[in-house]
Amino acid sequence: MTNITLSIDDEVYRGMKNFSEIRWSEFVRKCIRQRVMELGAIKSGVNADEKLLAENWLSEEDNLAWKDL
């Protein structure tokens, strides 16, 4: 397994600490895995274009969940 490092805002980190029961590394792994699958499905489609691939993929529910972190 490969390791990556990412930077997050201090405010986001403080928010994450409020939910210490969440395994954040596992959460991020699942998000990345899901996005890679979505992009693979789009790219293998007949009419995939770069604009579609670059669009924000978060749902309204996702945006609401992340707004306070």
Predicted confidence at residue 66, as pLDDT, reads 73
Instruction: Find the angle CA(40)-CA(41)-CA(45) to the nearest 5 degrees.
Output: 110
Predicted confidence at residue 16, as pLDDT, reads 94
Predicted confidence at residue 61, as pLDDT, reads 73
Q: CA–CA separation, 55 vs 18, rounded Å?
A: 30
Q: What is the pLDDT along the chain (69 residues), one digit of tens a residue?
A: 899 999 999 999 999 999 999 999 999 999 999 888 888 877 776 555 666 666 666 777 777 777 776
Predicted confidence at residue 41, as pLDDT, reads 79
Predicted confidence at residue 22, as pLDDT, reads 92
Q: Tell me the whole-structure pTM to 2 decimals.
A: 0.59
